[in-house]
Amino acid sequence: MRLALQYLLSVIFIVQMYLAMALFALFWTPFVMLRREAVFDAVHSYCRWVRTSAAVLVGLKSEIRGEVPSDEVLIGAKHQSFFDIILMVSVLPRPKFIMKKELLWAPIVGWYAKKLGCIPVDRGKRGKAIKMMVAAVQAGIAWPGQIIIYPQGTRVAAGAAKPYKVGVGVLYSQLGQDCVPAATNVGVFWPRHGLLRKPGLAVVEFLPRIPAGLPVEAFMERIEPEIEGASNRLMAEAGFPSGRR
5: Cα separation from own chain's centroid = 29
Q: Which of 158, 189, 196, 193 is nearest to 62 (CA)?
A: 189
| pLDDT level of residue 140 (50, 70, 90 thresholds) | low
> Would you state the pLDDT for residue 128?
65
Mean pLDDT value of segment 178-205:
96
Task: Express each pLDDT in 114-132 by its tens digit.
Answer: 899 888 877 655 566 667 6
- Is the predicted pLDDT of residue 226 greater than 80, yes or no? yes
> Would you state the pLDDT for residue 243?
46
> Would you state the pLDDT for residue 70?
94
Rg (CA), the chain: 18
Average of per-residue pLDDT values in the chain: 91
> Would you state the pLDDT for residue 233?
96
Q: Which of 124, 244, 146, 145 is nearest to 204 (CA)?
A: 146
Rounded to the nearest 5 degrees, what angle is found at the Cα of 183, between the Cα atoms of 182 and 189? 135
| pLDDT level of residue 39 (50, 70, 90 thresholds) | very high
Is residue 137 within 8 A of residue 175, CB to CB? The reply is yes
What is d(CA 165, CA 161) in angstroms, rounded to the nearest whole number?
13
Burial 196-226 (b: 16+ CB within 10 A, else e): ebeebbbbbbbbeebeeebeeeebbeebbeb
Mean pLDDT value of segment 73-98:
96
- Is the predicted pLDDT of residue 106 greater than 60, yes or no? yes
The pLDDT > 70 percentage for the chain reads 91
- Is the predicted pLDDT of residue 145 greater than 50, yes or no? yes
pTM: 0.91
| pLDDT level of residue 109 (50, 70, 90 thresholds) | confident
- Is the predicted pLDDT of residue 245 greater than 50, yes or no? no
What is d(CA 44, CA 61) in angstroms, rounded to the nearest whole number?
17
Task: Express each pLDDT in 54-66 by its tens digit.
Answer: 999 999 999 999 9
| pLDDT level of residue 229 (50, 70, 90 thresholds) | very high
> Would you state the pLDDT for residue 237?
95
- Is the predicted pLDDT of residue 134 greater than 60, yes or no? yes
What is d(CA 214, CA 159) in angstroms, rounded to the nearest whole number?
29
Task: Express each pLDDT in 174-184 by its tens digit.
Answer: 888 999 999 99
